[in-house]
Amino acid sequence: MKWKAVVIKSDRTIKVKEIDGYNELKRFIPGILQGVPFGETLDGDKTALLFCDEDGEDHSLPINIVATTIFQNVHPIGLDEQDMFVGTIVVIGTSNQGKDSHEQDVPDWFIDKIKFMMR
Q: Residue ranges of the domains in the chain?
A: 2-117
Beta strands (DSSP E) in the chain are 2-8, 14-20, 33-40, 46-53, 89-97, 100-104
CA distance 47 to 2: 17
Q: In the beta sheet, which residues pair with residue 85?
A: none
Q: What is the pLDDT of residues 9-59, one digit of tens each?
A: 999 999 999 999 889 999 999 899 998 887 766 555 668 888 999 999 999
Q: Pick the more confident residue, 65 or 69.
A: 65
> Crossing angle for the helix pair 65-74 and 108-117, nearest 10 degrees?
120
Instruction: State yes or no: pLDDT of 6 exceeds 90.
Output: yes
